[in-house]
Structures are given as structure tokens and as C-alpha cells.
Chain A
Amino acid sequence: MAKAKAKARGREAELDSALERAADLLGRARFPIFGGLFTDIAGAAAALSLAETLGGVFDHASSAGLMRASKVMRETGATPASFGEVRNRADTVVVIGKGPLTRDPDLLDKLFPAKPGLPRPGDNKRELILLGADNTKTDNPKTPKGLRTTAIDGKSPLPELVALLAASLREGRFDLRDKALRTEIDETAARLRKSAFAVFVYDPAELEEPVLHTVLEMVRHLVLTTRAAILTTAASGNGDGVNLCFTWTCGLPVRTSFAGAVPQHDAWAYDTDRLLKSGEADALVWIDALAGESAVRPKGVSAVVLSANPGGAGKDDIVIEVASAAGDHDAALYLSPISGIGMVKAAKANKDKPTVAAALTRIAELIDERRAA
């Protein structure tokens, strides 16, 4: 750890000294937040452990979409498919909104590879439907060659497009002045009904809860007669990985507080921004240590910052430069191609800086020592 940089109150500091100051601050904190959490599974586990010890809150910077998806899951369930199943077996893929293609411009090439995939149900040709994906703009990804693609945009907002498709899918009665849109919607619904495996792809961060419910209702309707599923875009900053780790440990999603006798989840109450603005939280641990990604930090609040790129830290921060997951060290992260947690090798191993897990574990030890003294 000797070569890692650290700062305390705007001045260069030895790493050990910064860790000590962080332990002092957190040991006194009444209600700290562990936020950002752009880290690997080991870092998340260490943060969770410390949050639990201190009676704090655990939230991820990309949790907005995760919160919606997890709430809908708790209320009605879900029917996800793995990326590999969709790539190989879906005959109708409906990309909803702009989020999926913005997050991964190569998504369509990955879902529709040129070479034939594994045996799949039915004998339909594969087909892509872009629903409100606004693919006509030049900066959006092109669709794979030879793939039959229908782009439905119209002038309707995305929730309305989804609702129209859901209504048409059930062959319900509804009026629509835009006859061209009506035709596209009805044809798409008909295609879905005759699909052998239809999949709706979306980013939960882009769709509001009622829309998520509508999509899942379409799946539940389709599975009465055929196969259907959803494929969601992973949250940035290893949000899905951090959320899974939190769930297997505590049985709850992130945005959970350890202040009470049992962990309590509340997507509104334990939102980092809200807790900081309201002044309920009195300390922030901000973790931003993933190769190639950066968490957007709340403004105007000093923090204990564990960052792989600590340049932008404020003068009142206690800053600990840490190794970047998948950059400086091997890291367990959520990987979309396997729809689960996998291991990513370090781009260039660097053991001079502590990992998030090591730094937090040391802070926890220091707090324990102070409490025992």
C-alpha cells in the first residue's frame, strides 16, 4: 500500500494517516451513507459489512433503475432470460426505448450474430422491433444486415407506445388516430403472438414502474401460448453485482438502512441524494473504483472518498486512492454476456494501491480498535 496517494482536508497525507482519519470520522458518525459503490463484489461486501457495523445506509449510484425493477419483482415476479438464450433463441426481439442501445451501441450485433446460433424453437426468421428506440438518428447503431427490422416511433411518448402494444397484443379495443402507427402496432402484436420466443429488451432506468408492469403483463400473456421473456440492461458501475451481493447477504436490495434492529429497505427514504439534502445523514463514504466508469458524485458534501481517480475530490474530503477493479486488480463483476457474476482479469495489475475491500477492512479494524479501547 506504500505508494498509494491519500489526502486529508486538502493536504497530502500518508495512507495510514488518511485511514485513521476516516476511521475517526466514521466512528463518530451517527448515520453514515455508503454511496457510489462503483466497485467489485469484494468491495461491496466490505462496504456492506462496515455499513452494518456503523448502522448506516447502503446505496448505489445507479440504483434508480434497480429500485424500480426490484419493486416490480417483489410485487409480481419476473420472467428474465439470459443474454445467451436471447442471442441464440429469440425469434422476435423488441427493444424498448433508447436506453439499451445507448448503454451498449454494439448490442444489436451481439444479439444478432452473423453465424447461426443454437437450435431454436419455431421456424420464424429472426426479427427486430425497435419501439421508441429512435433509431433513425445518425448517431444510433445500425441494425445488422439482412435482419428484418421494424422501427416504431410515431409521435407518442414511450409509455404510450408500450401501452398501445400491450392493448393490441391482447386484441383489446382501442382507438388511435395515427393510422400508420396503428398498423405498425397491430402488425407487431400479431408477430409477437406467433413468435416462438419473444423477448422485450429495456433499461429499467428509462421506464417508469407502470411501464415495467405493462411489459411484464405482455410476457405473462404471451407465455400462456408460447415462450416469452425480458432482458434488462445492466445498471452501470456494477450496480447489478453490488445489488446481488447485498441481496444474498441481507435478503434485500440496496437502499437499505442498518440503523434499526433489522435491515430496512426503502427506495425513497434511503436514497443517497435525499438523505444528504435533508441532512439526515451525517457522513458519506463515496466509492468510485471501477476501470472505465465513474460515478457521479453528489455536490456540496464532503466525504471519505475511496477512488481510483481522486483528482476531482474536494478540499474537505478525506481521500484514499484505491486500485481500480478490473484495471489494477482482478475483479468479480456482473457481466452481461453471462447474465451473472464473473471474473475479469486486471488490465494491468498494480499492487501499490489498496483495493476498496482492503481499505474498508482496515478502516473497520481501526474503528473496532477504538471501540475496544
Chain B
Amino acid sequence: MLIELRGGRIIDPAHNRDGVGDLFIEDGRIIAAPEGRTPDEVYDVTGKIVMAGAVDMHSHIAGSNVTLARQLMPELPMLAAQGGQPIPASPASWGAYATGIRYAEMGYTTVIEPAMIPTHAIEAQVELASIPIIDVAGLVILGNDDYTLELLRDGRGGGDELKDYVAWTLHHSKAIGLKVINAGGSEAFKFNDRKFGLDDEVPDYGVSSRAIVEAMQTAVAGLGIPHPPHVHCNNLGIAGNVETAVATLEATQGLPIHFAHIQFYGYGDGGDRGFSSGAPGLMEAVNKHKNATVDVGQVMFGQTVTISGDILRQFDGRRAANPKKWAINQGEGNGTGVVPYHYKKKSFVNALQWAIGLEIFLMAEDPWRVLFSTDHPNGALFVRYPEIFHLLMDKDERARWLDDLPDAAREVSNLAEITRELTLSELAIITRAAPAKLMGLTDRGHLAPGAIADIAVYTEQKNKTAMFSAADLVFKSGSLVVRNGKVVSVTYGRCYHVEPGFDAQIEKRVKTFYDRYYGADPSWFGVTDAVTHRRDRFATIPMPR
């Protein structure tokens, strides 16, 4: 069936396009204007904004870590709704089904789950497959696991064995990339260390955080995996940690690297309260290191829950739990820490966190390298995205929010002086084109012929919160799934992953390792096509050579 979207303002920054035109869809793809054919369906989108479906590159939506948080905090949606957040007051609102529905209504068509635990990859994948409409991909966590640390301790990290192990892990969990969370820090926590910096060494292994990150960068680059190591640095959330972030950036050896939710590393220790914005220094380093990309991890005020494989940090963060309960799951590799948190507008620290995130977005010289995220749900629930778009695109809206903040926070923030407003093209870069490109999902994030027909149509409004809360139309793989902000057809998408290839010897070695230390067989947690009972669920992405 040939579908035409006629007369919309097409915003496709991947092709420097911002102008009125038509789009054609056939067999789930965008095609060039066909000559001499009459469309079977025409949607008149005159005056509307037409963008590619949005791609969320870092959102904790599935897996044993997220479900641990659901077990701890079933009341989260009710508390959030009571506080005025746009989420239905039902525990099911942060279940798998509701997640897909709400993402689609906002115009999102692809979401990356950034923290799959290798031994729980089946759980993550089964859960991801129960999320409707959106396509997904997962990042799998390594760097605190004993197999990696053993290789590095024994001086085998620079050779093919680590590369093979990384490739095997990606294959075994059907992941699109590698996540490294507080490299070495979670393992050190298991030895009762409670602080861990870039050059601290994991007890018994004698391997530093810096060495782990470097080894992973080298392995991933050597394998040709499109997405670079996705790194959650040491010292998250600590005053003065901007120095750690800058030092980690400096240590990247020029190899590609992605830093996750850097807002949480944008903290100086200046001022009377020992907490200040480190955004200028951080962004100077980010702007300088062209090999690095970041996502922001914007904070918004209200109730949420933090979920992280950084159990060292989460253990420390338990003291700020609100409500007063927490869960630390000490599992293989990183484990998971869950700590409920309420960001308060009247809190000096929270207000400054909010401002620092926006400063980072607005100080970015290259939006292709500073991408959108709230680290859902850590900084804010994903249902808050439209409000953040509004703040980024409207300096008056920012001023209104700033007026409500504590004087002390306003005084040490740089935000009031920033007049920049993101354009629709820039928003499309940070929410579509750049994340798709960075993940190696070359068939989306743009609107050129051949792209998957994931398209969101919005009515342009000054109130960007309203504009992006409810898309007029959303097409997923060419099928209309949302009309007037409501889902009209429930479909199920695909999961994308890499297949970098590895020497089969690694399978035997890993099997021996798991048998000896865990009494387990890796086949128990290996993701196969059959685990989800959905045909064609899994698809590989191209590996550039």
C-alpha cells in the first residue's frame, strides 16, 4: 500500500532538510516520490511538523533491575501522579505494556534499554518483547564481572580473548552494545570498598577503573561495533566529580566513547555549600574531545526511583532514599541498586542539578554529540520529556521555572544568562538523528528513501509541552499506530543487536568458568530466537568494516 503524507514541514537534520514537502511510505519504508502512481492513502499534514520517530538511547525500561524497582516501588506512578506528573495513577503505568503505549503517543518508536545483566538477558529480552509498538535494543553490562577482571589481571586484556569475550557476550544476550558501569567499582564494593576512583584498583585483581575502560574501548573498536563503550563513570552524584568526568574524557585515547547521563557528573564543589555547577568545565572538555559523545540525564522535580548497576554509589545513596526504603541486589558483575528519590524544587542541590542538565544541553557546540536523556527513571520519568523539550526550546519557560527555585541555586547557576533556544532541527538531532546514528541504527532517525517508516507528526505550538505530549500521527514501520495522541493500533516491534563474531574457543572457556564458579551452564541465559515466541523478533544491524 502506498501512503502519502502531504504538505508537512519536514524536519530531517540528517539530510539538512527543513521545508515543506511530501513523504511516501510503502512496505514499511520511506520511498522516493513515485511517478505516475496514486497513493492508496493520503494524510493531509499541511502546517504540521513531520519528524522521524524519536529514538531514546538510554532508558531503563526492562530487565531484572527495573523489575526489582517495581517490586520495591509499586506506588511510584501513584506518587508521581499525586505530584502532578503526567502519568496515570495505576501501578500498571510503569509496566511493560503501558511503557510502549506512552512512548508511542509521544512519537517515540525506538528505545534502548541500557543495562542488561548478562546472566539475566533472557529476562530482559522477554520483558522487552512484551512492550508494544516500539523497537528496542539492549546494552549489556561488562567491566565488573570476574571473567573480564581475570583476563585483565592476567595480562590477557589486550589480546583477542577479551575481544572474543565481549563479542560472545553481545551475541549471547543479543545486545547492540556494551555498557560499563563504574568500572571496577561495583566489584570493589563486594570487597567492602565504599569509594572507588579512576585509578583505584579492584582488590585482589589489581586492575584500575581506567584500565578496564581502556580495555573495553580497545575491544569494542577492534570488533567494529558501531556503538562505542557506553560508560557510566566513577563518582556519580558526588560534589566535585566534574574532575573525574574530565579526567575520564582525557583518558579516552582518542578512541570512540560514550558517557552516559553526564549531568550527574557536572558537579563542582565551590560555593558556600560545597556544591556548584561544573557544567562549563565539563562542556569545555566535551566540546574539545570530538571522539566522545554524551547523553545528559536531565533531572526533573518530583518523585522517581533510581536504578543503577553502580551498587557502590547506590549503597551510599540509600541515606537519601525517599520513601525510606532501598534494595541492593549483589549479583554477578555489577548487581543492582534501587533507591527511591524525590527531586524537590525547593532543594538547593536538586534545583542546581536541574539547572546543570539544561546548561549542558545549551552549552553544547555540537548537538550530534550531546544527546537527550533523563536516564529514565533516574533523573525523571520518560513521560516528562515534553516538558524538557519545552525548557530547551523556550527561554521564557526556563525563566518561569527559574523564578520558583531557591535564590541560592539561582545565584550559582549559569542558566539565567543562557538565551539559546533549541530549534526543531536541533531537537530532532538530539532525539532522533544523533542517537540512531550513534547506535548504528542507520535505517532510522531520518526520513530519506530507504529509511524505516517510523514517523511522528505534530501540530506546531508555542507550548512545546503540549506539542510533544501527543503526536497527531505516528507511523511505526509504515503502520499508523497513533492518531490524535492516542494509540489506535497495537503492534509489536523488533529487537536490534550486533553479531560481531568470535573464536568458538571462548564458548568453551566461558562454559568452564561458569561451571566451576557458579555451577551454571551459560546456555541457561543465552538468548535465542525462540525466547520471545515472536517471529522475526531479532534483527542484526550492519557492522561497518
**Residues of chain A having any CB pair with chain B under 8 Å:** 41-42, 45, 70, 73-85, 87-89, 110, 113, 115, 117-122, 196-197, 223, 226-227, 229, 244-245, 247-253, 261-263, 265, 330, 332, 335, 337-345, 357
B346 near A: Cβ within 8 Å? no
Q: Does B533 contact A (CB under 8 A)?
A: yes
Q: Are B517 and A79 in contact (CB under 8 A)?
A: no
User: Within 8 Å of chain A (Cβ to Cβ): is B70?
Assistant: yes
Query: What are 30 A-B contacts with C-beta separation under 8 Å?
Result: A76-B325, A77-B325, A77-B326, A77-B338, A81-B329, A82-B329, A82-B331, A83-B518, A85-B332, A89-B190, A110-B519, A121-B191, A244-B64, A247-B71, A248-B67, A248-B127, A248-B130, A249-B92, A251-B95, A262-B88, A262-B89, A262-B91, A330-B530, A338-B518, A338-B525, A339-B331, A341-B126, A343-B526, A344-B524, A357-B533
Q: What CA separation (Å) do A95 and B326 show in the bound complex?
A: 24
Whether, in the assembled complex, B520 has its beta carbon less than 8 Å from a beta carbon of chain A, the answer is yes
Nearest residue (CB) in B for A246 is B95
| Interface membership of chain B positions 503-545, coded 1 if the CB is closer than 8 angstroms to chain A and 0 otherwise | 0000000000000111110011110101101000000000000
B97 close to A (CB within 8 Å): yes
Q: Which chain A positions have C-beta within 8 A of B516?
A: 115
- Assign chain B's interface to a size class: 35 or more
Q: Is the CB of B91 within 8 A of A263?
A: yes
CB-nearest residue of chain A to B62 = A248
Is B331 in contact with A251, judged by CB distance below 8 angstroms?
no
How many angstroms between the C-alpha atoms of A89 and B189 in the bound complex? 12
Instruction: Chain B residues near A341: list those with CB within 8 A.
Output: 64, 120, 122-123, 126
* B79 CB, nearest partner CB in chain A, Å: 12
Asked whether any CB of chain A lies closer than 8 Å to the CB of B315, the reply is: yes
Q: CB-CB < 8 A to B126: which residues of A?
A: 41, 245, 332, 341
Q: How far is the CA of A63 from the CA of B306 in the complex (A)?
A: 28
Indicate if the CB atoms of B91 and A73 lie closer than 8 Å: no
Q: Write the B62-76 contact mask toward A (1 if CB under 8 angstroms, else 0).
A: 101011001111111
User: Of A73, A82, A88, which one neighbours B72 at CB under 8 angstroms?
Assistant: A73
Given contacts A70-B71, A85-B190, contact A248 B517 (CB under 8 A): no
The chain B residue sitting closest to A115, CB to CB, is B516
Partner of B204 from A113, A119, A252, A332 at Cβ < 8 Å: A119
Interface residues of B (CB under 8 A from A): 62, 64, 66-67, 70-77, 88-97, 117, 119-120, 122-123, 126-127, 130, 146, 189-192, 203-205, 315, 321, 325-332, 335, 338, 516-520, 523-526, 528, 530-531, 533
- Cα-based distance from A263 to B321 in the complex (angstroms): 26
CB neighbours (8 Å) of A110 from chain B are 519
CA distance A74 to B338 in the complex (A): 12
A81 to B531, CA, bound (A): 26
A227–B192 CB distance below 8 A: yes
A340 touching B120, Cβ below 8 Å: yes
B542 → chain A closest CB, angstroms: 28
Cα-based distance from A112 to B518 in the complex (angstroms): 11
Q: How far is the CB of B118 from chain A (nearest CB, A)?
A: 10
State whether A73 touches B331 (Cβ < 8 A): no
Given A335-B524, A341-B126; A79-B332 close (CB under 8 Å): no
Find out whether the CB atom of A80 lies under 8 angstroms from the CB atom of B325.
Answer: no
Which residues of chain A are near B92, meaning CB under 8 Å?
Answer: 249-252, 262-263
Nearest-CB distance from A2 to chain B (Å)? 21
Give the residues in chain A near B74, CB-CB below 8 Å.
74, 251-252, 265
Tell me the complex Cα distance, A343–B533, Å.
13
- Report the bound CA distance from A83 to B520 in whole Å: 10
Contact A338:B330 (CB < 8 A) given known A77-B325, A227-B190, A247-B70 = no
Q: Contact check: which of A41, A75, A77, A249 meets B96 at CB < 8 Å?
A: A249
By a CB distance below 8 angstroms, the chain B residues around A76 are 325
Known contacts A78-B72, A337-B524, then 15 further A-B pairs from the complex at CB < 8 Å, ordered by chain A residue: A42-B533, A73-B327, A77-B325, A77-B327, A80-B327, A87-B519, A89-B190, A110-B519, A119-B191, A249-B95, A251-B95, A263-B90, A263-B92, A332-B531, A343-B122
- Closest B residue to A357 by beta carbon equals B533
Q: Which 6 residue pairs spanning A and B have beta carbons closest together?
A: A251-B91, A119-B204, A342-B524, A262-B90, A77-B325, A82-B331
Contacts of B146 in A (CB 8 A): 118-119
Is there contact, CB below 8 Å, between A338 and B524? yes
Shortest beta-carbon distance from B298 to chain A in Å = 24
> Shortest Cβ distance from B339 into chain A, in angstroms?
9
How far in angstroms is the closest Cβ of chain B from A239?
14
Distance in Å: Cβ of B378 to nearest Cβ of chain A: 17
Closest residue on chain A to residue B129 by CB atoms: A45
- Roughly how many angstroms separate A102 CA and B530 CA in the complex, as a whole number? 34
- Distance A115 CA – B513 CA, assembled complex (angstroms): 12
Q: In the complex, which residue of chain B has the Cβ closest to the Cβ of A83?
A: B518
Give A250 to B525 CA distance when docked, in angstroms: 24
Rounded to whole angstroms, the CA-CA distance of A201 and B387 in the bound complex is: 46
B331 close to A85 (CB less than 8 A): yes
Least distance between B476 CB and chain A CB atoms (Å): 21
- How far is B338's CA from A117's CA once the two chains are assembled, in angstroms? 28
**For B189, what are the chain A residues with a Cβ–Cβ distance below 8 Å?**
227
A340-B95 CB under 8 A given contacts A82-B330, A119-B205: no
Partner of B70, one of A120, A248, A339: A248
Q: Give the residues in chain B near A84, CB-CB below 8 Å.
A: 119, 331-332, 517-518, 520
* B517, A88: Cβ atoms closer than 8 Å: yes
- Are A340 and B71 in contact, CB atoms less than 8 angstroms apart? no
Which of the residues A41, A83, A121, A265 comes within 8 Å of B192, measured between beta carbons? A121
Q: Is the CB of B130 within 8 A of A249?
A: yes
Chain A residue numbers with a CB within 8 Å of B93 are 251
List A contacts of B64 (CB < 8 A).
244, 340-341
B67 touches A247 (CB 8 A): yes
Contact A80 B191 (CB under 8 A): no
Q: Looking across the interface, which residue of chain A has its beta carbon closest to that of B524?
A: A342
Residues of A within 8 Å of B122, CB to CB, are: 332, 340-343
Q: Are A340 and B119 in contact (CB under 8 A)?
A: yes
CA gap between A341 and B332 in the complex, in Å: 14
Q: Please give, as numbers and ranges, the residues of chain B lying within 8 Å of A196 by CB-CB distance.
A: 191-192
State A223–B71 Cα separation when bound (angstroms): 22
- Is A79 in contact with B327, judged by CB distance below 8 angstroms? yes
- Taken together as a complex, chains A and B put the C-alpha atoms of A327 and B183 apart, in Å, by 41
Which chain A residues lie closer than 8 Å to B90 at the CB level? 251, 261-263
Q: Which B residues touch A249, using CB under 8 A? A: 92, 95-97, 130
Chain A residue nearest in CB terms to B128? A248
Q: Which B residue's beta carbon lies closest to that of A358?
A: B533
* Contact call B517/A117, Cβ cutoff below 8 A: yes
Q: A73: nearest residue on chain B (CB-CB)? A: B71
A82 in contact with B332 (CB, 8 Å): yes
Smallest beta-carbon distance A251→chain B, Å:
4
